[in-house]
Amino acid sequence: MLSYLERQASRIRAHLDMPLFTIVLLLMGVGLATVYSATQSAGVNRLDNQIINMLIALAIMLAVAQAAPQKIMRFALPLYLVALALLIGVALFGVSVNGSRRWLSFGLIRIQPSEIMKIAMPMMLAWFFYRHESELKLKHFAIAMGILLLPTLLILKQPDLGTSLLIGAAGFFVIFFAGLSWKIILGALLAAIAALPLVWNFVLHDYQRRRILTLFDPGSDPLGAGYHIIQSTIAIGSGGVFGKGWLDGTQTRLEFIPEKHTDFIFAVFSEEWGLLGNCVLLALFIALVGRGLMIAAAAPTLFSRLLAAAISLILFIYAFVNMGMVSGILPVVGVPLPFISYGGTALVTLALGIGILMSIHTHRMLVKK
Amino acid sequence: MNDFQHSQQELTQFRRRILFSTFAVFLLSGAIFARLAYLQVVLHEYYSTRAESNRISLSPIAPNRGNITDRNGVVLARNYSAFTLEITPDQTRDLDATIDALSELIDIQPKDRRRFKRLLEEAKTFESIPIRTRLTDEEVARFTARRYLFSGVDVKARLFRQYPEGALAAHAIGYISRINDNDLAWIEQEAAERTDQNINYKGTSLIGKIGLEKQYEFELHGVTGHEQIEVDAAGRAVRVLSHTAPIPGNNLVLTLDGALQKTAEAAFGQRRGALVALDPNNGAILALVSNPVFDPNLFVDGIRFDDWDELNNNPDKPMLNRAIYSAYPPGSTFKPLMALAALSQGRRKAGYTISDPGFFSFGGRIFTDDKPGGHGSVDMLKSIIVSCNTYYYHLANDLGIDAIARFMGEIGLGARTGIDIPGESEGVLPSPEWKARRFKSREQQKWYAGETISVGIGQGYNAYTPLQMAHTLANVLNYGRVFSPHLVDAIIDSGTGATRRMGAQPIRQIPLNPEHVDFIKRAMAGVNREGTGARAFAGAPYSSGGKTGTAQVYSLKGQRYAGQNKERLRDHSWFMAFAPLETPSIVVAVLVENGGFGATSAAPIARQVFDYYLLGKNSGGPAPEDVASADEGNVDAMPPPFPLTGADHAVLP
């Protein structure tokens, strides 16, 4: 009995990547402290919930790490298809919340298929390139673009600009690492810039346009769309180099920061910990991404390489977009700060990603053998 | 190329792209770092200030306004605290819906809504505006329990002004009402002129509009205190960081005698008119009546539209301060002053006698006397007692308009007296210079000698306020010592309790011969003993002097005054009096609009005021038997404390 438990424990340890695990624990610690600070004045205890969320996420992470990449690969196509079907379902029968149709209701459970797609998309594309590894031609890149664009456009139509960009980016990273030629990338980039006016006029919704406009001039609408940015930059700027100290952020405590425990939690952290705290946080994210890229570089198969590299970069993009929007250099899109923001769904998705990275790293020797 | 080479090449490309990505990660992290450093180092000062001002709201605390009491300590204006329900329009999404929802909890009448609408138009939207005043405790509790449902709505404890005596002396006291743009401009100007840091009206919503409330606004207001309050994004107070208590306004103690004022106002009854009673020894105003009156309490929490309409459109003009603003021709009350002018300028001896045929002919015009056939032989004393017009037609012609105007101006007519309430008018002291200023066309600017004749009996262009008449008479009785008429006796500092006395010093000296003044006093005593004041003062246990007057409202063009003229065209009735004779302690000027003959409508009011002031009783007028005795010319029925010698008729210059 005891030896069984010991065996299980040593199996878990064997598939645990200590550097990643440490970084994730540190980030979660920062997250708990900040969520506590952001919510303590509201009188609602979010800390217990978030601790449970984190424990669930850690369990999922460790469980996924046990699974061999080949096993994970088998889920790529079904997961993608299910997510796609659900997205189409959302478009047809979805529940509207705040004017956008993002949710699908199954009686008690409401799910957001775009969340599944965040992980399904890179898996699907990595699997696709792996399948056609020996015969990669332009045609395959074109098909990959189709796989990428179909769900991305569906999510854009919901409308959910932030998520569609992130999923698009996740897919694009796979294609990029698969070796799409620079010429095509640059050409597409130019084409995209050329298409911007069209997108502006015909694709974006009013509120999305307003968000982008207020980015350039938050003062134009200080009590409306610009309010978030103005208040969060005040919070960050007033934090200074050393910060106001944990639990002492006045912008936070006096409720000036909107969505302060979710999307704008970085403003809370910045106000209380200052530039020094920010440097530590940035360093943690860089370390996380760096470790992920190292894992990718050492990964044995094309599938695991592409998936690991894409997951690493997308983690960084989440952090970058969130910090960018909260500090006022990127438009406000609903992106949580990885491991810091309050919320269970995002944590589960992140845990899946980290679990996959661990799995790829800890199973690399098995493949070689 | 074999598979192995292919995959090696592929791996190399992949690793290059990993390197590129690493580079991009550092670059983007650098961008975030740069942005954060810019916000937290370069702009730190700026954002710290913004965060502080976000956080700290300086909230003013309005001071308690000073009280106003009469000379005996009777409270005429004070404050009481009451709860009001107030809405800040800026912080309220849908005003009408909010008010509808509030009316479920609290009784809100259509008139409250109307008043709110009106205040809303005047006020700035970030100010809180009362929707209901004087909430009951139960209403306060009901609202407080559901306060969270109403953003921008709050219950506030506010101090309300109260005038416990209602309309009593309303024209003197004035009222306070909501600050408007004119008031703000005035405050700004005063603050600049006085360079007074203490003039701070943040948090104060009411200000003196007329009367003492306006004149002494900056004494009464006090010094605004303030609280530094930490607020959250919804503007709710989280805690108080610092507190500076307000300093209450100073209290005013008036020269006014509330009971005397009440007697005087009651004596007017329904009649329109004005009365000024003052102490000639120091200019202290004892009563200041302008009838009809208004209730200043109506204005305090925003006057209702129909009340305002009623006050404004009332043909009797209750808001008009007749005592200090309305100027009336003085009529015969001008005669003692004309006599004094003649004596002072050496143009008449008292004994100089004319023969009055009942008219005066000048330049082809006939100026008539009141008495057909005339008064016979008339000297100066008799001219005052019987109010002989012909005597003064002659006198005016002899003195000339320039001398008359110079003298009357010197003793106080045609100029503001300097009373300590705003809104005083100058009246009209006619002279060729005045006419040149007053009229545009050459034809109208010309002074005609005939106009001088009319001026001589107090008609023509002559027009003075009741206050001016009382003030001028007081100046004369004082042998030329001039005191500013004033309503405030002392200002009591709310902090130190120190008392500042006001206006007790004479401001100038008119060169008058005391003998001349005594002569005028004796002549006016004669009026109350045996002349036109005798009926009103019959049986008075004190000695007094007086003079009636009748001011023409409408030229009768030679017809006799019949008494049945339309009421508003009837003459105004004057009475000027003082008592006791030797050392007067009270002077009054009474005017009853369209009262007809001065002896019958104005003089009895003066009698009641004197009785109250000198005897401490409400007399209700002279006893009938005394009146009958006076009618028979029984001078002996009057106490003769003042010797009327034969010398008065002859000896004086």
B125 compared with A67, residue with greater pLDDT:
A67
pLDDT for the residue A206:
75
* Contact partners, residue B581, CB within 8 Å, separation at least 6: B521, B525, B543, B544, B545, B641, B642
* pLDDT tens digit sequence for A107-155: 666 678 888 899 999 999 999 999 998 888 889 999 999 999 999 999 8
Residues of A in contact with B17 (CB under 8 A): 176-177, 179, 309
Q: Is 60 exceeded by the pLDDT of residue B652?
A: no
| Sign of CA pseudo-dihedral B137, B143, B144, B146 | positive
Radius of gyration of the CA atoms of chain B, in A = 36
Q: Which token pair is B172?
A: 């003197």
Answer whether the bond into residue B580 is a cis peptide, omega within 30°.
yes
pLDDT for the residue B558:
41
Mean pLDDT of chain B: 86
Helical ranges in chain A per DSSP H:
2-14, 18-39, 47-66, 69-93, 113-131, 138-156, 161-177, 182-198, 206-216, 225-239, 250-253, 265-298, 302-326, 344-362, 364-368
Residues of A in contact with B37 (CB under 8 A): 275
Of residues B22, B25, B43, B54, the one with CA closest to residue A275: B43
B289 forms beta bridges with: B275
Residues of A in contact with B51 (CB under 8 A): 234-235, 237-238, 250-251
Of residues B620, B540, B621, the one with CA closest to residue B581: B540
> B152 falls in which pLDDT band (50, 70, 90)?
confident
User: B166 to chain A nearest CA, in Å?
Assistant: 48
Q: Is 80 exceeded by the pLDDT of residue B238?
A: no
User: A237 to chain B nearest CA, in Å?
Assistant: 4
> B305 falls in which pLDDT band (50, 70, 90)?
confident
Q: What is the C-alpha separation between A309 and A100, in angstroms, rounded?
A: 32
Cβ(B299)–Cβ(B177) below 8 Å: yes
Residues of B in contact with A277 (CB under 8 A): none
Contact B40/A at CB under 8 A: yes
Residue pointed to by tokens 């000339």: B400
Most confident of A47-56, A225-234, B301-310: A47-56
A327 compared with A13, residue with greater pLDDT:
A327
pLDDT for the residue B645:
45
User: B91 to chain A nearest CA, in Å?
Assistant: 12
Q: Mean per-residue pLDDT for B427-446?
A: 90
User: Chain A: which residues have CB within 8 Å of chain B?
Assistant: 133-134, 176-177, 179, 231, 233-241, 250-251, 254-256, 270, 274-275, 278-279, 282, 285-286, 289-290, 293, 296-297, 302, 305, 309, 312-313, 316, 320, 323-324, 327-329
* Buried-exposed string A140-162: b where 16+ CB fall within 10 A, e elsewhere: bbeebbebbeebbebbbbbbbbb
User: A168 to chain B nearest CA, in Å?
Assistant: 17
* pLDDT tens digit sequence for A231-277: 889 999 999 999 998 988 887 777 777 788 888 999 999 999 999 99
pLDDT for the residue B643:
45
Torsion (CA) B598, B604, B607, B613 in degrees, nearest 10: -110
Q: Is B332 a catalytic residue?
A: yes
Most confident of B314-318, B560-564, B639-643: B314-318
Q: Which token pair is B383?
A: 């001219």
> B621 falls in which pLDDT band (50, 70, 90)?
low
> B127 falls in which pLDDT band (50, 70, 90)?
low
pLDDT for the residue B337:
96
Q: Is 90 exceeded by the pLDDT of residue B268?
A: yes
Strand B68-69 versus strand B251-254 pairing type: parallel
Cβ(A262)–Cβ(A334) below 8 Å: no
Q: Is 90 exceeded by the pLDDT of residue B532?
A: no
Q: What is the C-alpha separation between B398 and B303, in angstroms, rounded?
A: 55
Q: Is A323 in Cβ contact with B40 (below 8 Å)?
A: no
Residue B638 CB neighbour total at 10 angstroms: 22
* Buried-exposed string A329-354: b where 16+ CB fall within 10 A, e elsewhere: bbbbbbbbbbbbbbbeebbbbbbbbb
Q: Is A250 in Cβ contact with B18 (below 8 Å)?
A: no
Residues of A in contact with B50 (CB under 8 A): 234, 237-238
Is residue B384 classed exposed, middle or buried when 0-12, 13-18 and 19+ CB atoms within 10 A define those classes? buried
- Render A301-341 in DSSP notation, one character per residue: SHHHHHHHHHHHHHHHHHHHHHHHHHTTSS-----PPTTTS
* Buried-exposed string A163-197: b where 16+ CB fall within 10 A, e elsewhere: bbbbbbbbbbbbbbbbbbeeeeeeeeeeeeeeeee
Q: What is the CATH number of domain B259-303+328-650?
A: 3.40.710.10
Strand B488-492 versus strand B481-482 pairing type: unpaired
Q: Is A329 in Cβ contact with B33 (below 8 Å)?
A: no
* Contact partners, residue B523, CB within 8 Å, separation at least 6: B336, B339, B380, B381, B384, B385, B545, B648
pLDDT for the residue A218:
65
Q: Is 80 exceeded by the pLDDT of residue B635?
A: no
Q: What is the C-alpha separation between B569 and B76, in angstroms, rounded?
A: 36
Q: Is A179 in Cβ contact with B39 (below 8 Å)?
A: no
Pairs of residues, one from chain A and one from chain B, whose beta carbons lie less than 8 Å apart: 123
User: A134 to chain B nearest CA, in Å?
Assistant: 8
> A296 falls in which pLDDT band (50, 70, 90)?
very high
Cβ(B219)–Cβ(B494) below 8 Å: no
> Which of A270, A309, A324 faces B18 most closely, judged by CB atoms?
A309
Residue B25, SS3? helix
The residue among B4, B15, B47 with the most chain A CBs within 10 A of its CB, best to mutate, is B47
pTM of the model: 0.64
Detail the DSSP E strand segments found in B179-236.
Answer: 206-208, 225-231
> Which of A279, A320, A328 faces B28 most closely, judged by CB atoms?
A320
> B233 falls in which pLDDT band (50, 70, 90)?
low
pLDDT for the residue A65:
94
- B43-47, B522-526, B550-554, B594-598: least confidently modelled range: B550-554
> B647 falls in which pLDDT band (50, 70, 90)?
very low
Q: Is A297 in Cβ contact with B33 (below 8 Å)?
A: no
Q: Mean per-residue pLDDT for B228-240?
A: 71
Q: What is the C-alpha separation between A294 and B648, in angstroms, rounded?
A: 130
User: B129 to chain A nearest CA, in Å?
Assistant: 23
* Contact partners, residue A298, CB within 8 Å, separation at least 6: A361, A364
B58-252 folds as Penicillin-binding protein 2a (Domain 2) (3.90.1310)
Residue B60 CB neighbour total at 10 angstroms: 16
Q: Is 60 exceeded by the pLDDT of residue A94?
A: yes
> B1 falls in which pLDDT band (50, 70, 90)?
very low
Backbone angles phi, psi at B322, to 5 degrees: -65, -25
Q: Is A289 in Cβ contact with B18 (below 8 Å)?
A: no
Cβ(B435)–Cβ(B444) below 8 Å: yes
pLDDT for the residue A169:
93
Which residue ranges make up each domain of chain B? Answer: 58-252, 259-303+328-650
pLDDT for the residue B178:
84
Q: Is 90 exceeded by the pLDDT of residue B82?
A: no
Residue of A nearest to B26 (CA): A286
B628 compared with B70, residue with greater pLDDT:
B70
Radius of gyration of the CA atoms of chain A, in A = 21
> Which of A241, A254, A270 faces B238 most closely, judged by CB atoms?
A254
pLDDT for the residue B123:
65
> A23 falls in which pLDDT band (50, 70, 90)?
very high
Q: Is A239 in Cβ contact with B40 (below 8 Å)?
A: yes
Q: Is A327 in Cβ contact with B29 (below 8 Å)?
A: no
Q: Is A296 in Cβ contact with B33 (below 8 Å)?
A: no
Give CA separation, A226 vs A200, A221, A326, in Å.
19, 5, 12
Residues of B in contact with A297 (CB under 8 A): 14-15, 18
Centroid of chain to Cα B184: 19
- Render B108-164 in DSSP notation, one character per residue: --HHHHHHHHHHHHHS-TTS-EEEE-S--HHHHHHHHHTGGG-TTEEEEEEEEEE-T
Residue B253, SS3? strand
> Which of A240, A256, A313 faces B54 most closely, judged by CB atoms?
A256
* Contact partners, residue A93, CB within 8 Å, separation at least 6: A104
Residue pointed to by tokens 């449970």: A52
pLDDT for the residue B618:
67
> Which of A179, A309, A323 faces B32 most closely, judged by CB atoms?
A323
List B332, B344, B383, B484, catalytic entry = B332
* Buried-exposed string B424-438: b where 16+ CB fall within 10 A, e elsewhere: bbebbbbbbebbeee
Contact B231/A at CB under 8 A: yes
Give the ipTM of the model, two decimals please: 0.93
Q: What is the C-alpha separation between B425 and B372, in angstroms, rounded?
A: 37
User: A202 to chain B nearest CA, in Å?
Assistant: 30
Cβ(A300)–Cβ(A364) below 8 Å: yes
Reported residue count of chain A is 369
Of residues A208, A266, A217, A267, the one with CA closest to residue A238: A267
> Which of B17, B29, B233 faces A254 most closely, judged by CB atoms?
B233
Q: Mean per-residue pLDDT for B161-180?
A: 92
pLDDT for the residue A102:
72
Answer whether the bond into residue B511 is a cis peptide, omega within 30°.
no
Q: Is 70 exceeded by the pLDDT of residue B527?
A: yes
Residue pointed to by tokens 């008058």: B512
Q: Is B25 in Cβ contact with A316 (below 8 Å)?
A: yes
